[in-house]
Structure formats: C-alpha cells, structure tokens
Amino acid sequence: MSLSASSLPQSVIITMLRAAGCVFAEDEAQLLISAARTPADLAAMVERRAAGLPLEHVLGWAEFCGLRIAVDPGVFVPRRRTEFLIRQAAILARLAARPAGQALGRSRVVVVDLCCGSGAMGAALIAALDRVELYAVDIDPAAVQCARRNLGAAGAQVYEGDLYEPLPAKLRGRVDVLVASAPYVPTDAIRLLPPEARVHEPRVALDGGADGLDVVRRVTAAAKPWLAPGGYLLVETSERQAPQTAGAVARDGLIPRVVSSDELNATVIIGTRPALQSGRDG
C-alpha cells in the first residue's frame, strides 16, 4: 500500500504495521508519530517500517539502559538482553574503582568495549559510573562512525579494527573491565533469524562461525594480557553455549563465572584475571 503525504490516522498506521507483522504495532505507531517532523516524513517512515526495516533504523535511535542511542541504517541494533551485561559490568567497575581495604578509589576506571557496534554499551557504562576512561573498537566502519557520535562527547576513544589490534599499547595490563558483545550466532542459524536482523544488520555482527564461538574464543584468548590484575572480562553468550564459553575463559587463564537473567533471557560469562601474588603474574 502506498501512502500519501497527508496526515495519517493512527488507526491506519497500526493496521499497516500489523499487516507487516509488527507485534507491538500500537507502540510502534506512537513512536513513529512522535518522531515524524511532517506528514510526508511520517508516511515515509511508516512505509519503511512496513517494508521490514528495523524500527530503530527508521527512528534513527534505539532505547538502551534508559538512553537514546543513535543507530544508523546498517548498524547492529543494541539488544535489550545486553542490559544485563551492563548491570554486571557496572557492579564490577565500581569494585575496581574502590579496591577492598582502600578508603579512596583510583581516579578513573579503565573500560574497553570490543565489538562496540553503535557504542551503546560504552555509553551506558559512562552514564552509570562516575569516572570512566573508555576505549571502544569495532571492525565495521559504519558502526565506528555511529559509535563516535554516541561516545565522542564523553571523551571516549573509538577505534576501527579487529578486536584488540587497534588498541594503544599503553592499555596492556591496565584494563579494569573488558566487555564484548561479540557475534555468537552459528553460521547455519543465521537463516533462522528474523528478517530485521538477517537482512538489515551486518553479517559480521551476527555470524559467530560454525558453533557460534569463533570470535568469542579470539576475545578470550587475548584478554588476559590486557586486563589489570583482578580485572574482569564480560562476554555475552547463549545459555546453550555457556559451558563452552566458560571453558574457553578458563583455558585462557581467567576464572570463569556464569550469570544469567530469566527476565531478559540473557547469559553472561565473567572471567576474572587472578590478582598478582608474591610478585608473580597470576
């Protein structure tokens, strides 16, 4: 159905969105109406959404941890389940900022966000913590450009490159919290994803290889030298993949712990670098 530039009744918008398979058509209609600047703008937005473009790409932003994160077309849309990882990371960052037995914490917590996408995780941690020195990395140029928009005002550094490769050497052994929303969908399962993800999000942000853990294993394999003693790695995974992911974390010299949220259907592996003992690296 083609829409004219005249003002559209909300009921018509809802009907069109429902016909396109939008489960939350009423809520989406209200968001589109609120975001549109003109009747013509609204008509174009509704047509794009009904054609299958993710709502966040149509609006130009996604809600994440109570923030509006700019999301450009073709950039991975932050998932609500990842808010659970942020909650865990914020707790651990506060522990790192105020070590046990010390009245005052260090001036800043050093955080690295790998596979940062739009920069949503980094933005959420900056909002949740008092003092953060944040570095973010993604291999996708479009994601890096988007992340710089979301993180630049906070003074974060955003790099384009493959995982740890573009990070400055000065960070080795200094990272308190390393978060990674690496792709973990098995290659053969990509075809089962909703079209919004399968068609409109970058394959590199979804495809984790044959068992879904190719990139995750690369993250865990190189994490320890970057972490400060007692520092934390947090990796999002699925419940089914959690044992293998925790095993990889342990093999790479970190102490693994599995945490999950039934509410958000989220699973996170936390790997802790052992603290230094007797002058030796644990």
Beta strands at 227-237 and 266-272: parallel, antiparallel or unpaired? antiparallel
Q: Give per-residue pLDDT as tens, 113-166.
A: 999 999 999 999 999 998 899 999 999 999 999 999 999 889 999 999 999 999
In the prediction, which pLDDT does 5 show? Answer: 43
Under-70 pLDDT residues of the chain: 1-7, 98-107, 277-282
Q: What is the pLDDT of residue 97?
A: 76
Enter the pTM of the model. Answer: 0.89
- Which residue stretches of the chain are H helix? 10-19, 25-35, 39-50, 55-59, 82-97, 120-128, 141-151, 195-200, 214-223, 242-251
Q: Which residues contact 199 (CB under 8 A, 6 or more apart)?
A: 52
Phi, psi (degrees; rounded to nearest 5) at 78: -60, 135
pLDDT of residue 102: 52
> Count H helices, E strands: the chain?
10, 9
**What per-residue confidence (pLDDT) applies to 98?**
65
How far is it, in rounded angstroms, from Cα 53 to Cα 197? 9
